[in-house]
Structure 1
Amino acid sequence: MHTIDLRGRTHTSAELLALVPRAAVDVAVASEAAAALIDEVRTGGSEALLAQADRFDGGRPPALRVPASEIADAVSTLDPAVRRALEETIRRVRLASAAQVPPNTVTEIGPGARIRQRWQPIARVGLYVPGGKAVYPSSVVMNVVPAQVAGVTSIALVSPPQRDHGSHVHPVVLAAAGLLGIDEVYAMGGAGAIGALAYGVDDLGLEPVQLVTGPGNVYVAAAKRLIRGQAGIDAEAGPTDILVVADAAADARLVAADLISQAEHDELAAAVLVTDSTELADAVVAEVERQVALTTHRERVTAALTGGQSAVVLVDDLEAAAAFSNAFGPEHLEIQTTDAEAVLAGIQNAGAIFLGPHSPVSLGDYAAGSNHVLPTGGQARFAAGLNAATFLRSQQVVEYTEEGLADVAESIAALSATEALPAHGDAVVARFS
């Protein structure tokens, strides 16, 4: 891991943004290929999806729509320990997601004038569950549960077929879907699957969705960008990242383990330590070297940690650490300091925040109850992670009586005249003529 030394001077926000290490990922470079794959699906339907599965995923599945019996079999044959883990994760995520549903309210603006605020769930959504370097039944939970909590009634789930499983969707992914009552599952992946969700596939009976959520590779991200407008999207997911703010009191062994845990995802994953202690920095670097040699995916982890996107950042104090973190906008932020709450007070931008030595990011990836579908690539500076509100639309219901309208009729006439839109004012005046 290379070192970025910010000690000795105060940096502006613009300077910090320029210093932030990032993976060299450009979604635009995949746009042309993603657009071609989407067009293939729009014109070729099921046959195009089967051909793409053969070219890019785990081979042509026996059927694109997974039979209900196959989902039931996956549930019945699921390892009991994995089933218990999934059921407990579902329970926890459901509890935390319920807290994200805003209440309907009524605001009395004045006599005879009120606005009702209501939150209307999207009727139909498409959820993408990746299946590249790893298989993610946990992502089934993280996508489905907040949608269900929000009140979504129609859910289509897609995941690439796996060569190791006879070109079927991974059985644990199917089991997770089954445990959640999802019976509309398709064996498809990549940009073509995103296009299929957005535009529908007539010969498959796949109806278009209104919103597409879930992480994926750069082609999935490019496809989501391309279909935006035809359907909504949650975000364009990129490589994962973790930023750890730590002081001299932190345990170097645990900090190193957490950095490695996220570097395990992808060669482009970012792992960043920000600290005011050179002693801790040196200890963490030594621990990383020791632990990487012992980890299963050591080549992948080494590539991530030695890439330009990963670094040890030295700062003068924890206030400067918070400022750098805000510029970075981490997907996952860990705070391992003597007074974590004091650091938290200075944090504005983060996808999810983990306080203290016993709240590792791995906890959030699986069983914390929080959602692990989070903004990457600095998008936490302006976006939130997947949550129940993602699947809700804010609607204001305006209800005025004659008295209420009369109170603002003069104001409306004045403003409409100023904007050279007199018919707007006339529409109000007509009600009192």
Structure 2
Amino acid sequence: MTELSGGPSLPQERRVVTAIPGPKSQELQARRSATVAGGVGSTLPVFTVRAGGGVIEDVDGNSLIDFGSGIAVTSVGSSAEAVVRRASAQLANFTHTCFMVTPYEGYVEVCEELAKLTPGDHAKKSALFNSGAEAVENAVKIARAYTKRTAVVVFDHGYHGRTNLTMALTAKNMPYKQGFGPFAPEVYRVPVAYGYRWPTGPENCGPEAAAQAIEQITKQIGAENVAAIIIEPVLGEGGFIEPAKGFLPEIVKFANDNGIVFVADEIQSGFCRTGQWFACEDEGIVPDLITTAKGIAGGLPLAAVTGRAEIMDAAHAGGLGGTYGGNPVACAAALGSIETMRELDLNAKAKRIEEVMKGRLSAMQEKHDVIGDIRGRGAMIAIELVKDPATKEPNAEAAGALAKACHSEGLVVLTCGTYGNVLRFLPPLVIGEDLLNEGLDIIEGALAKL
């Protein structure tokens, strides 16, 4: 199936013509090693020349199936027609003025779209930034300005970015925090409802985890000191953990009852990724603030904080912003991305991807004990790998071996999880079902060899 939104000249097929990485990629990797800082990693060192739909083409002529979407960024594909058209037109007009110096309509249009799309019918305002970490950091600034409080509550297994403050908010040490401290103060971590690993079982997890989290906040911090509670409605880097049902509503109620700003970090889970515009809609959650990035602009750097107008207006004039925040070309791309999501009903496509993937993965789980858990929603699906399904001991080695086997066959997959034992799947929402199934065939073959 040709990509539905752009890139029709790029054949939607897997093609492996050299070893992966091939000789040209290896040459480029040598150049990279000489000049790019070693701290910048690569999941798979193949160098891209074209991408679109469900494939990535490298310098050696290999065409790889994409189950990564640049970490949930290219949900509409890497060359969606509306994104390319709108961004190209804007590029020809002007690349930058700085919205804080002389503004432009594109920024306002993106904020208008965010007000329409995000949960809740209250008056909303937005501020635009460059990256997810910037959005989260600014959400904290806004919450502190509004509440006149300082403490921030986050959750086990959460990931929120790589800046100093967002490293403090992030739970996992390696590779995100190791050696980079000291970190920002007044950040407190509490339990999350991780159903698969909850001691009394997933059926008890939601209410028990909520009670534990609320007790810790009340006893150890004091609710009256908390400016914000920040959570990913589906935890991303921590292992695609869906908090057990009932957990999020209880946390939201506690926040509302105590004047705490509830922040939904939808940077990875937003914009149709889970089969809804935003993952928090699943349990009817209406956040005070919502942070977005990744899937918002079809691959261009853009992020946002959107929320209740009275909270968003708490920061003094000039207190929010940044030179590139809401760049005009990125804003044009975002409008093209949202147009594509609407036109192609990418929420429905995400749900179909879930149906296909969970069906196939469940059949694999019956044959392979290494798959302890299958979870996620929409096109945000993961398998947690274990050494023994009875003990649930994490099997990071299997995750690494599976990823490597998939890469060698021309399938881009990513790992994640606090224990490094989760294989996550984030295909573009426009991927053809034939490619989706071919990718799952490769995973099945790799499991059999494992």
Q: Which TM-score bucket, shorter chain as reference?
A: under 0.3
Using the size of structure 2 for normalisation, the TM-score is: 0.22
Higher helix share: 1
Structure number with greater Rg is 1
Using the size of structure 1 for normalisation, the TM-score is: 0.22
